[in-house]
Copies of this chain bind each other. A is one copy, B any other.
């Protein structure tokens, strides 16, 4: 979803997944590789230095590498050729030593994912903080709960915000739980040129990149990618859920919340569109689709012919759009105007029907005030706020 990109995705997220960010990450991987090989005694230290010194993004043109990569099916093959030319001499042969293109791209993908999920974590935390604030402020703000969009029984806006809060905390924890492993398997997962030193180099390499050390190369075991995709989908999904609730509560006929600086219309000056909630929902649809590219693919034997190559763009989009979704909802929540008078006004007599049924069964008289039939709403808000306290 790059069309009109800045409309959907804030600059930091777009930058974090841009082709340039991938180039930086790929060079970081090539640098870490020679360092690890040098530390393991596989290649001479001075060669590692010589290679590492040329792992400088400004020396390479990612668009040209992409174009050139059409011949080999990925941009790493031309990058390695360019890097070796830059290094020159005997040292050149140690660049990319023992690695395969997929090692570089997969590790780079994890680096890109790490930086973007870092940004996402900040957004999730900020959105959660807004929900906690709203839950606290509106613990005693009664409103109608709606099931199948029909008024059901009373609730509080605090409990609604607490529900959003818990969902955001769940999503944040899920994103944080995703392990991002380094990839290093060589041509086909045996790290053949390294002999039995493979695991040692793999450990050093992962440490160098500060990525998790995988048990085995995962060229065609895409569990890490799938878990990441699921977590991004979940995060964007929570943003979309909050967005949906905001859109519904902001309806003209409901009017219980509105976005500060709601979207303007050139011809209909009365309108205050819930724009950020809408953008969050739009972004989340994109994440959901990209996540389906990152799961369910056919990864043949030792390296896939298609499903893997489809991951790069899908991952970038999923990361950026997840950021777009959560950032939009964070902005939405920051400026959310809660109209508690309207909430109270909207409450219909029907909200007491359940209470009356129970009262009649018990043979007692039912209280007529809908704002007093709130059950454990406050207790649940308390639990949510406690968990929020522990999360920060």
Contact = CB atoms under 8 A, between A and B. Distances in A.
Contacts of A193: 354-355, 358, 375
Contact of A163 (B70, B216, B358, B378): B216
A96 B344 CA distance: 29
Interface in A275-294: 275, 277-286, 288-293
B227 A174 contact: yes
Contacts of A150: 250-252, 271-274
A42 to B, nearest CB: 12
Nearest to A77: B266
A22 interface: yes
Contact of A1 (B187, B306, B310): B310
Contacts of A354: 187, 192-193, 267-268
Contacts of A271: 147-148, 150, 152, 350, 353
A369 interface: no
A141 interface: no
B297 A387 contact: no
A339 B220 CA distance: 23
A40 B278 CA distance: 36
Contact of A147 (B216, B221, B302): B302
Contacts of A73: 7, 148, 263, 273, 275, 278-279
B4 A171 contact: no
A247 B215 contact: no
A89 interface: no
A149 interface: yes
A325 to B, nearest CB: 10
Contact of A190 (B250, B286, B346, B374): B374
A190 B234 contact: no
B220 A226 contact: no
A153 B302 CA distance: 10
State the 10 A-B residue pairs at the shortest beta-carbon distance, nearest first: A198-B376, A1-B313, A281-B306, A145-B188, A147-B303, A270-B350, A192-B375, A282-B309, A190-B375, A285-B310
23 contacts: A3-B315, A71-B261, A148-B300, A148-B304, A149-B251, A151-B270, A152-B268, A153-B192, A154-B192, A167-B223, A191-B375, A192-B355, A193-B358, A198-B379, A221-B238, A221-B241, A226-B234, A240-B298, A268-B350, A269-B357, A281-B309, A283-B310, A285-B314
